[in-house]
Amino acid sequence: MEEFVIEGGVPLHGEVNPSGNKNAALPLLAACLLTEEPVVMRNVPQIRDVFAMRKLIESLGAVIEELDGHTWRITTRELAASHLDPDLCRRIRASILIAGPVLARAGGLKLPPPGGDIIGRRRLDTHILALRALGADITYDRVFDIKTSGLRGADILLDEASVTATENAVMAAVLAKGETHIRNAASEPHVQELCNFLNILGAKIEGIGSNALHITGVPSLHGGEYVIGPDLLEVVSYIGAAVVTRGSVKIHNAGVPHLEMVRQVFRRMGVHWEVEENSIFVPSGQSLTVLSDLDGAVPEIKTNVWPAFPTDLTSIAITVATQVTGSVLFHDWMFSGRMYFTDKLVGMGARIILCDPYRCLVQGPTQLYSEELESPDIRAGMAMLLAALAAEGTSKIRNIVQIERGYEQVDEKLRGLGAKIYRELG
């Protein structure tokens, strides 16, 4: 199995282009099952989770032609009534997104439980409640048996602002008879991308970007073209890499309008960047000093639903905080396993107190030292990679398939910025 070998302590300099948004690509590919006409999808990220989703929709009848490395033409003339591969479903959390479009177009499916990162309990109840409200009959006995005699519009109040449940409900509702109102809907940029894409195909979705969506069902969708936006998590990862190595990096096509809250949070750690149209320039010479609260108290960086600071950036921000003067309390109430990777940073020399499964206190700055590591999930794996870039000595990271589930050619992009990172067989 391959592993990364990283010689740390090298400042990064140069320019980089992020890949397409993983969290947008997965529901967008699932949504292609809603139409029998061809869809051209551009800027498709070449990552493991996307390849897994490709295999899933192909198993249901989708035919995919690669027009170039990042452009696919997807045509699903007919949906095959086949059982999905349980092992394939366990590879990615996004396999649950098959439910909405297949239910809407074919009237039912049998869906094995989804997998994905092990970061704590991840409920599926919101998906089930939303689809049942639209007219689905759902039972579970190690496999979800989902069927309907016909979907109909409904007034749905989601019990939590779940991204994937919102996406599933939207994809089911666009072909349901009548009108659907989804309240407490997630509004992340990738949810907005899905809604905009569906409207291009002929759906009627209003309220995009808000937490109240209004959908008027249509009999069918037609084909179209769409360009997937930049992966904001990858953008912030390269911002973090520039900061922890004391380098300077320019990130093109950075999705600047969606990064204002992230910018506010990073400013509290003394991190600044310049905006040039849709590009971000992270200069060297950052102050890297914590900005305390008005009463001098330790600031708290707390995740929340969009447009607040996203949970998937917690790991990156914690690694950045190890190189910042001062103390920061991180609080991620969403996932009970998100913080457990911090013991690896402690082993590298970081001063981190794990208060409970949801909170940790980081005191910096500290010199990090090389270590042999293993990536537990996508985001923690990238955070460890940043720590290795900042560390003194040569580190190894095993299980890099986890990182590559969400980051395209990460080692090549980092080498383009001057990083000394290599692959070798472990």
Beta strands of 193-336 (E only): which ranges? 204-206, 212-216, 224-227, 248-251, 274-276, 279-282, 300-302, 326-331
Share of the chain above pLDDT 90, in %: 86
**Position 117 confidence tier, pLDDT thresholds 50, 70, 90:** very low
Min mean pLDDT across 76-90, 212-226, 313-327, 334-348 is at: 76-90
Q: Is the pLDDT of residue 128 over 50?
A: yes
Pick the CATH number of 2-19+230-425 from 1.20.1250.20, 3.30.230.70, 3.10.20.30, 3.65.10.10: 3.65.10.10
Share of the chain above pLDDT 70, in %: 98
Per-residue model confidence (pLDDT) at position 119: 41
pLDDT band (50, 70, 90) for residue 82: low
CA–CA distance, 239 with 411 (Å, rounded to integer): 16
Cα–Cα distance, 265 to 251 (Å, whole number): 19
For 343-357, letters b (16+ CB in 10 Å) and e give: ebbeebbbebeeeee
Give per-residue pLDDT as tens, 262-307: 999 999 999 999 999 999 999 999 999 999 998 889 999 999 999 9
Whether 116 shows a pLDDT value over 70: the answer reads no
pTM over 0.85: yes
- Is the dihedral angle over the CA atoms 332, 333, 334, 340 positive or is it negative? positive
Q: Respond yes or no: is residue 155 known to be catalytic.
A: no
Q: What is the pLDDT of residue 349?
A: 98
Residue 230 has what DSSP assignment?
B
Q: How far is CA 145 from CA 26, 261, 263, in A?
A: 22, 40, 44
The mean per-residue pLDDT over the stretch 303-331 comes to 96
Note whether 383 and 26 are within 8 A (CB): no
Domain-wise residue ranges, the chain: 2-19+230-425, 22-227
For residue 425, pLDDT beyond 90? no
Catalytically annotated residue among 117, 231, 332, 411: 117
What fold does the segment set 22-227 form as a domain? Answer: UDP-n-acetylglucosamine1-carboxyvinyl-transferase; Chain (3.65.10)
Helix (H) or strand (E) run with residue 16 in it: strand 13-16
Residue type, 255: G
Instruction: Round the average pLDDT of the chain to a whole number and report it.
Output: 94
Tokens (6 digits) for 247: 């380098």
Mean pLDDT of 113-126: 64
Examine domains 2-19+230-425 and 22-227 and report if their fold is the same.
Answer: yes
How far is residue 281's CA from residue 274's CA, in Å, rounded to a whole number?
Answer: 5
